[in-house]
Amino acid sequence: MKIEAITLREIQMPLVHFFETSFGRTYSRRILLVTAHCEGVDGWGESTAAEDPFYSSEWIESAWPTIKQYLAPAILGRTISSGRECPSLFGKVRGHRMAKAALENAVWDAEARQKQQPLWKLLGGTRREISCGVSIGIQDSVEQLLEKIATELAAGYRRIKVKVKPGWDVKVLEKIRSRWAEIVLSCDANSAYTLDQAGHLRSFDQFNLLMIEQPLWDDDIYYHARLQKELRTAICLDESIIHARAAAFAVESGACRIINIKAGRVGGLTEAMKIHDLCHAQNIPVWCGGMLESGIGRAHNIALSTLANFSLPGDVSASKRYWKEDIIDPEVQVSPQGMIAISDAPGTGYRLREDLIEKLTVRKETLRA
């Protein structure tokens, strides 16, 4: 499969509802989409690099020139048989994992379409449906948060995750638990705490949480291992797991008991599968995180989630929670049982609404060998 051209484009999509984490509030997304044009077949990928370098040091304005000047030239004009070949071709570039993932995942989609196979099968997935949770951001009031949780439970979601930060944690969790004693509940701090606050974090143990996600620094594993020893609640790492070695170190050192896998954060589907496999071998359950993706990134997340060790509900949820209109057809739908059914169509299994994508595009550039 010859990579003849690569198109980069930015689309802008307003969120149905703002999303707030410990690092800030997002109202509208600027999304970098990548198309790999390969001998009559197009593969699509989405960068998870955000509007700002807050979740990670990457952002849309670093991903675009990195792909344009380094990653695309490494594969343009080449004949590649699989997305698996991308990591070594990108190997000279340090970091920039979200940029790498966008391009690698586009190649995976092209490969699957060219082989007339669903991407999930190509990845070695086995699940025919995947289990869904939701991530609910910080709201203007606790009442509004409770309202949102009620809506998502009624929709069938199997796990509720709420964002926390100092000042929006224990009191909020108390209110949730006093209304719903039994639901599967977890929280995500996005690095809002320090080890000095271990005593405070220990008080979360009373809420019987499935996990506390990324309580400490984004670049830390060692202090998470110290903290995990002091908590009954399982720590799940997100930001800290930037590649398979970090996952191995985290598991070996006892820094977490669960891992959130995001293909964007770790440099693409190949590395994501490596983390999945090593966690599987060590009995560490994983789940698929989300980054407020459009349908394209969402479809890749769904394919990844079909692998056997994705045994906990992920953050991959219905398109309509984010978008008035998604750019894929059909949109991602979640059943009243909180499941997404896996499509057998080739590639990611969803059609692209190219007219709508064109309408949302604010800049576009096609690169050739």
Catalytic residues: 163, 262
- Residue placing its CB nearer to Mg ion in the complex, 36 or 259: 259
Give me 162's structure tokens. 């709420």
290 binds ligand OSB (CB under 6 A): yes
135 binds ligand OSB (CB under 6 A): yes
Residue from 111, 152, 169, 315 that binds ligand OSB (CB under 6 A)?
A: 315
* Cross-strand bridge partners of residue 318: none
Residue from 238, 271, 293, 326 that binds Mg ion (CB under 5 A)?
A: 238
Minimum distance of ligand OSB from residue 204's CB (angstroms) = 17
Residue from 104, 152, 188, 220 that binds Mg ion (CB under 5 A)?
A: 188
CB 233, CB 205: distance < 8 Å:
yes
**Among 10-18, 103-111, 113-121, 284-292, the segment contacting ligand OSB (CB under 6 A):** 284-292
Closest CA to 190 of 315, 14, 309, 66: 315
Q: Choose the contact partner of 292 out of Mg ion, ligand OSB, none; CB within 5 to 8 A by kind.
A: ligand OSB
Residues 292 to 311 in contact with ligand OSB, rule: CB under 6 A: 292
Binding mask of the shown chain, residues 94 to 133, with x at each position contacting ligand OSB by CB under 6 A? ----------------------------------------
Give me 19's structure tokens. 């999303």
- Residue placing its CB nearer to Mg ion in the complex, 188 or 271: 188
CB count within 10 Å of CB 92 equals 9
Alpha carbon of residue 144 to chain centroid: 25
Closest CA to 225 of 206, 185, 198: 198
Give the 3-state secondary structure of residue 48: coil
CB 110, CB 317: distance < 8 Å:
no
Q: Choose the contact partner of 135 out of Mg ion, ligand OSB, none; CB within 5 to 8 A by kind.
A: ligand OSB
Residue from 44, 55, 168, 287 that binds ligand OSB (CB under 6 A)?
A: 55
- Count of chain residues binding Mg ion (CB under 5 A): 3
Give the 3-state secondary structure of residue 203: helix
Closest CA to 174 of 136, 146, 211: 146
What residue number has its CB nearest to Mg ion? 238
For residues 157 and 148, what is the distance between their CA atoms, to the nearest angstrom? 12
* Cross-strand bridge partners of residue 187: 162, 212
The contact set with ligand OSB (CB under 6 A) reads 21, 55, 135, 188, 190, 238, 289-292, 315
